[in-house]
């Protein structure tokens, strides 16, 4: 996933300042389970430094890592979309410094100021699209039973 563009970079300065009012810096030690798969989203994060692994439960296996996020990445994208609970799981694999945002307050801001809402929605949708592209092969490898190389190639 490209991490060169973040939610904050894509907003006009006034909108950025308004969203930052609903954030605070956090440090997460290595090994911190930030959220579990399908957990209700009360917060989202923009990673400033460190590394976070996104994982999903695969029946019959341990959780499978499907993507790794680092500086600039938006973590916890599902906060904007009902029903606000279809995250992958996320664990800090190194110490992570991030900005933590109150998702409810940012949703309210988006509803109140449509220009902010449109910019935030477009950024989150683009982030999710980039993430889906980057994890597509890993998701297929973990979700599709391995019958043969041809079956997996066909599914992709």
CA 47 to chain centre: 10
What is the pLDDT at residue 144?
Answer: 59
Contact by Cβ (8 Å): 1, 72? no
In the numeric block, the tokens 């409810």 are attached to 104
What is the pLDDT at residue 146?
Answer: 52
What is the pLDDT at residue 5?
Answer: 59
What is the pLDDT at residue 96?
Answer: 97
In the numeric block, the tokens 């563009």 are attached to 5
What is the pLDDT at residue 94?
Answer: 97
In the predicted model, residues of the chain with pLDDT beneath 70 are 1-5, 60-61, 81-86, 137-156
Q: What is each CA distance from 112 to 15, 21, 45, 109, 115, in whole angstroms? A: 12, 15, 21, 5, 9
CA atoms of 70 and 53, how far apart (whole Å): 9
Q: What is each CA distance from 10 to 5, 7, 32, 76, 119, in whole angstroms? A: 7, 5, 29, 17, 7
């Amino acid at each position: 996933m490209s991490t060169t563009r973040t939610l904050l970079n894509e907003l006009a300065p006034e909108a950025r300042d308004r969203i930052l009012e609903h954030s605070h810096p956090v440090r997460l030690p290595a090994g911190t389970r930030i959220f579990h798969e399908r957990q209700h989203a009360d917060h989202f994060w923009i990673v400033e430094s460190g590394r976070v692994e996104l994982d999903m439960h695969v029946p019959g296996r341990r959780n499978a890592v499907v993507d790794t996020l680092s500086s600039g990445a938006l973590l916890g994208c599902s906060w904007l979309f009902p029903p606000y609970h279809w995250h992958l799981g996320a664990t800090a694999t190194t110490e992570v410094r991030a900005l933590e945002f109150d998702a409810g307050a940012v949703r309210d801001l988006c509803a109140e100021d449509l220009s902010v809402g449109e910019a935030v929605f477009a950024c989150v949708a683009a982030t999710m699209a980039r993430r889906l592209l980057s994890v597509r092969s890993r998701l297929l490898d973990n979700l599709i039973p391995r019958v043969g190389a041809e079956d997996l190639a066909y599914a992709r």
